[in-house]
Structure 1
Amino acid sequence: MDLQPLYDVKGRLEQAAIAGTGLLAEDFRLSRAAEQLKPLAAASPVFGKIGAGLDQLLSAPAAERSGLLLDLLALADAVVYTQGKTGIEGELVPLPAGNGQYLELSYSQLRPLLEALTTTGGGRMEIVQSAWENHPEHFTDFRVLPAVVNGLGDSYGELAELNAKILKQMGPAPLSLLKEGFDPAGNKSMARRVEVVSALEGAGATPWLREILPQAKKDVRAAVLTALGEDPENVPLLLELVQTERGANREAALQALAGQDGEAVTGFWAAELDKKPVSALFLAKTEKDWAGDLIAAGLRAHLEKLLSHGDRVPEEEQTELSHWCQAVGKKTSPAMLDLWRWADERMELFDGLRNKKGNSIFAGVRLTDTLADCLRHTGPGPLRDHCLKLFDHRPEMTRYLHISFLAALLSLPAAEVFEKYGPYILTEEPTQDAGRKKTLNTVLLRALGDVWWYPQVGQYRVYGGLSTAEPLDIRWIERLTRAVCTDVPRRAGASPFAYYWEDVPEFDRTLMRLVDPENETSRKLLIPYLRRRLEETGQSYTYSRWLFRLGGSPRGLLGKALAKRPNDNRSYAVWQLMYDAWQALGTEESIALLEEVLTEGAFQKQAAPLIQKAIPWTVEQLRAGNDFPSNIDWTKL
């Protein structure tokens, strides 16, 4: 049906509304449009109603035309809208299988995610991460899924890795797209495709991997070789490839073989380690007994070699010792346990080893640290039992206290652990055997530094390892607040419990890592302690926030503490501290702290005028019932 006459009528009615009804009698174009509409009017009652309206309009007295025109124009508009349609030329076909699914989502809902996946610039990673956390279903949409796959080649490497991580968690949905258009000689993005396919299919990816292996090059080939290790059926192929591949590709084949089993695999690794001891590093993550036996044998042989040098060990031998120790990982085979017993009997000899300059190479300490790292990941069994008794059997080896204490936390009731080890924390200066007692005090403090409260799971854990058998006995907190020998070496790396510009003692960091903020007894013990430490150190930002975390306040001490280090008191630092106080303690307490800080007036010189203006205004806002102004335009002050 040709609807052009209807559109012509609508157009002429709109023109008449603009020109005015006084000219209707002379509008021959409207009359012609009405004449051309008559075939449609005869074919449909709706169009017939429009035709009748036109006849009435054209014959109506001038005074009635305005109302009739508006009614008729409204009717024509409505009819035209009902005839509208959207679409493109061609037949409708189903979405290709594996390219994502159709979701009832508008483009505007997906636009931020799509732009983050397909454009460049800053802030994109946060958008993708937030979308995955809040709306993971959006990633299955047919508009988004291809963009995520293409994003494996994003110029920003961290975003490309995030896309790979997301795809690995999506199940089989992306597999078709990952294999579609795959280029075995491609770049890093194709290597990431292999990694994702392997993560999704495991051993099921073997046929595809074998198909693309002959053409695979560079990063892609290394990824394929690594992925072949997911299927034990590939062991014969990997044993062939490891003889012919070179460089990074051979390392990938070694990594694939590290997780396999069987006589052929064990025989290969025995020969490999004999020829290239550095290859032991590829077995670091393997917990199989055959790997434990080989590493135990290799480490023992190397230790015997070190002892054969007397007290002067070449540098390359020290490096090799590091490689063997790294390879121990979580291995607990019987041969590995025998190694630790053998090493214990010779620990003094290892402590005596020195380099060519006469300095200690700390071989014994390295062995003890390796055993402690293994212990923190090891469940109940002979190795843990060995560690539990180590200090009891060799009390002269003071560093064994660290290992036995961690083993006790992982194995024994909390009260029993405290009663046995708590007395090593000194609460008064020793008068007899002071050197040994202070050493054991320090060793135990370092061991306690390995114990953290994890609020996310509500558990105490040995850092980076397993949960303790029971929550820490509260008596540890009480005893530590009375400790007199608190000098303990700083742990490597940054601490989430202190502000970088304040040199907070490691003892207090250790204490705060042990605290469950929800435990009322802990709060009662620590709030007075932290207030005392705030007064002693003047480190306002760390100790005040620790107090906030426990529901305590630095009121009465904060102003004077800030005055000890006025150059630290920049506008943003003071303001963030006060904002944190308001969030933790509420309006009245934060007002009191603001007024205390203002009274003391100890600010960085350039910041002082701004802070002195901002505090009274903020107090006024809080007293008016408003929230703390977290963002202030300091330039306007």
Structure 2
Amino acid sequence: MSIPVLAQVYDEVRRLSIAGSSVACGDFRLKKLIPPLQKAGEKAPVFAKVAEAVSGVVDSDEKSAPAALLSLSTLINAILYTQGETGAEGKLEPIKLVGEGITPKRSPASLLKTVAAAMTNTGSGRLEIIQESLERNPFPDPRLLGPAIDALDGSYYEVCDFVEAKVLPQYGKSIVPLIVEKFDHKGGAGDARRLSLLHRVDPKGADKYVRYALKDGSKEVKIVAIAKLRDPEDVTFLIEQSAAKAADVREAAFLALAEIGSDEAAATLAEGIRKPRNHQALKAAKLGKHPAVLAAVLEEAEKALADLLATKPKDKNLDARSDRLRALLTALEERSDKKTEKLLLGMYEQREAISKLEGSTTYHANGLSILRCMATCSKKTRDQLIANHESYDEFGLDVAIDAAMRQEKPKEIYELFHGYLVAAKNLKKGKGSAKAASKAETVSTALINNSAVVDMLYDYAPDDRRVVELDPRWLDLAIETEDLQLVIEIARPKHQGAQDYLETHAQKYLKGKSESYEMIEILQALIRIEHPQATEYLTQAMKKKVKYGVSYYSGVFSRLIGNLPKSAIPQLEACLAEMDEADADRYIVAVADLKNRA
């Protein structure tokens, strides 16, 4: 039996059943199906029965519509169930399995909905939501695969790139057919991400698509394809592309040559480094490990230094020469060979003269470039850098702290830099207080940025984040100098001073008339150090009326609820019982998730 028209009737009946029988009377979509049903009824009486039932629905009124719609629904379901085709003709073939099967995870529906919306909607804060969700491990879930693939074509590139690099690779090779299905080697940024993703999950299988893109792909896709070439056989092609008109194509070619590292590839990169305005080659030079590349960078750095020192302060070429020296120093970062070490120590002795030749830049950019390079070079360069930390401004001090954290023990780091916090407190109202405060803030920020604590709200940590163990005395000093941000960051359980200090500030902010981000950070710290009153202060913050940003603060507090122990559930439920229904609804899901947590 041919049933397309019956399938249409079924779809319309389902639509009306969802909308309600009150809208079925005179429905024009059903009415259009009556003539073809009557015509089919001339050969098969069952179609005439259906046409009669459809007419009954169309001609009904509000009182008779429910019964008419139910009668039609029963009839059409019975016909399709007994007469509909449930298979396909032809020989059965086993389906080829690509990768491993993906089964749904036991993630709360609220989490899946929030993450799916963040990947496909527009607006600010979406990247943070996706990053934060990784801690709750919702991927790989087939229910989120569609939104994740759609995110590759989004308008906010940071979300698109994050999904391509961190989310979709979790699905493995099983998503290859879905990615290939939409891949267009002449497409735009979304297709460039698809090619990059294919190479991540299936490098061998992606090779043919890389070749397609290299042959006649769009600029965006071609750049990704070039960046994936690592076969020495491709060096000739990469050398050709290193002379392309498009700067980003040249950069991709030089980066690939730097990583291949063959003699021919290194010679081409070295030649590019020696060209004064070849910024793309200098960017790739940092990755080059071949001796020829290092020799070219050192040679050009010595020339650039000599040219800069020979330049007068008002010379029109000063900016260009200063920029070139800094670019070459960047290419020398993370190199610990003796020649680089010698060059940097020599530059350090001349840094005062070098810093005077900044051109239009500010903040002693040349001198800072030397310091940053020394911090990543060798113990000898770092020792020299650290020994003179008191002579630097706040920017140089930041580099010296970084150098110390790379090699010194926690005790030595404290002995070297704790005096800046003490000095800022003692000079609070005296001469030089602004400078002292700036240096103290530099030290405090460096400690915070290198601590082991991960934000409970946006707990995605960059891959290159360096965690440094801190001397316990920093916490006591932070309390003594009233550095609230540092106390929040490095507070630890069972430290009575930290508990009292944070509790005092929590009470202060709760008594205030408005909310503040400091209160949110204090609540995080109280929860993290397992303060006995952490749940109490959180519930007080939840009950406090917020004039602006209600949705924002309720979202924040919901995330904090997820970090509480399950023993907090009775107190949270009591809090919700005291709230207005609309306010309580904002936290019900978070409390339920906490209750159901394994």
Pairwise TM-score range, normalised by the shorter structure: 0.5 to 0.7
Q: Which of 433, 442, 446 is the equivalent residue of 1:446?
A: 442
Equivalence for 1:262: 262
Equivalence for 1:570: 547
**Match runs of 1:242-261 below 5 Å:** 242-243=242-243, 246-261=246-261
**Match runs of 1:489-504 below 5 Å:** none
What do the CA deviations read for 1:195-254 (whole angstroms, capped 9, x no partner)? 1222234467445533553233332222222221x3344223312332456444333222
Whole-Å Cα distance in 1 between the matches of residues 136 and 576 of structure 2? 34
Give the deviation of 1:348 after TM superposition.
Answer: 1.2
Give the deviation of 1:446 after TM superposition.
Answer: 0.7
Moved more, 189-198 or 515-524: 515-524
Letter aligned with residue 94 of structure 1: E
Cα RMSD for the two superposed structures:
5.6
Which secondary structure state, in structure 2, belongs to the residue aligned with residue 90 of structure 1?
Answer: coil
**Match runs of 1:516-531 below 5 Å:** 516-518=491-493, 520-521=495-496, 523-524=498-499, 526-527=501-502, 530=505
Equivalence for 1:482: 480
Equivalence for 2:402: 406
Whole-Å Cα distance in 2 between the matches of residues 269 and 287 of structure 1? 8
Equivalence for 1:164: 164
CA change 1:415–1:223 in 2 (3 A) is: closer
Equivalence for 1:241: 241
**Match runs of 1:330-479 below 5 Å:** 330-355=334-359, 362-368=364-370, 370-371=372-373, 375=375, 383-392=378-387, 396-397=391-392, 401-426=397-422, 442-443=438-439, 445-452=441-448, 453-456=451-454, 465-468=465-468, 471-479=469-477
Give the deviation of 1:390 after TM superposition.
Answer: 2.4
Whole-Å Cα distance in 2 between the matches of residues 94 and 311 of structure 1? 78
Whole-Å Cα distance in 2 between the matches of residues 334 and 347 of structure 1? 20
Equivalence for 2:271: 271
CA contact (8 A) 1:202 1:231 kept: no
Give the deviation of 1:304 after TM superposition.
Answer: 2.6
Equivalence for 1:315: 319
Whole-Å Cα distance in 2 between the matches of residues 402 and 120 of structure 1? 39
Whole-Å Cα distance in 2 between the matches of residues 158 and 128 of structure 1? 11
CA change 1:518–1:206 in 2 (3 A) is: same
Whole-Å Cα distance in 1 between the matches of residues 473 and 502 of structure 2? 16
CA change 1:178–1:580 in 2 (3 A) is: closer
What do the CA deviations read for 1:564-607 (whole angstroms, capped 9, x no partner)? xxxx9736569959995996999xxxxxxxxxxxxxxxxxxxxx
Query: Scaled by the length of structure 1, what TM-score is found?
Result: 0.56
Whole-Å Cα distance in 2 between the matches of residues 628 and 97 of structure 1? 55
Query: Scaled by the length of structure 2, what TM-score is found?
Result: 0.59
Which secondary structure state, in structure 2, belongs to the residue aligned with residue 348 of structure 1?
Answer: helix
CA change 1:508–1:171 in 2 (3 A) is: same
Paired residue total: 463
Q: Which runs of 5+ in 2 are unaligned?
A: 1-78, 535-544, 565-570, 586-598
Which secondary structure state, in structure 2, belongs to the residue aligned with residue 449 of structure 1?
Answer: helix
CA contact (8 A) 2:355 2:365 kept: yes
Letter aligned with residue 341 of structure 2: L
CA contact (8 A) 2:270 2:296 kept: yes
Letter aligned with residue 304 of structure 1: A
Give the deviation of 1:349 after TM superposition.
Answer: 0.8
CA change 1:147–1:518 in 2 (3 A) is: closer
Whole-Å Cα distance in 1 between the matches of residues 176 and 562 of structure 2? 48
Whole-Å Cα distance in 1 between the matches of residues 309 and 251 of structure 2? 31
Give the deviation of 1:428 after TM superposition.
Answer: 8.2
What do the CA deviations read for 1:322-360 (whole angstroms, capped 9, x no partner)? 54455455444443323321221111112322548xx96
Letter aligned with residue 523 of structure 1: A
Moved more, 168-177 or 266-275: 168-177
1:303 is aligned to 2:254: no
Whole-Å Cα distance in 1 between the matches of residues 575 and 387 of structure 2? 65
CA change 1:519–1:87 in 2 (3 A) is: same
Give the deviation of 1:467 after TM superposition.
Answer: 2.2
Which secondary structure state, in structure 1, belongs to the residue aligned with residue 260 of structure 2?
Answer: coil
Equivalence for 2:92: 93
Whole-Å Cα distance in 2 between the matches of residues 149 and 87 of structure 1? 31
Whole-Å Cα distance in 2 between the matches of residues 244 and 85 of structure 1? 61
> Larger Rg: 1 or 2?
1
Whole-Å Cα distance in 2 between the matches of residues 435 and 463 of structure 1? 42
Whole-Å Cα distance in 1 between the matches of residues 576 and 91 of structure 2? 60
**Match runs of 1:576-615 below 5 Å:** 576=553
CA change 1:537–1:446 in 2 (3 A) is: farther
CA contact (8 A) 2:410 2:471 kept: yes
More contact order relative to length (CA 8 Å, sep ≥ 6): 2
Q: Which runs of 5+ in 1 are unaligned?
A: 1-79, 487-506, 555-567, 587-618
Equivalence for 2:224: 223
CA contact (8 A) 1:427 1:479 kept: no
CA change 1:535–1:316 in 2 (3 A) is: farther
Whole-Å Cα distance in 2 between the matches of residues 522 and 512 of structure 1? 10
What do the CA deviations read for 1:65-119 (whole angstroms, capped 9, x no partner)? xxxxxxxxxxxxxxx99989861341363364357888788xxx99x99xx79x9
Q: Which of 481, 484, 490 is the equivalent residue of 1:515?
A: 490
What do the CA deviations read for 1:161-194 (whole angstroms, capped 9, x no partner)? 4663444333333345545685443444433332
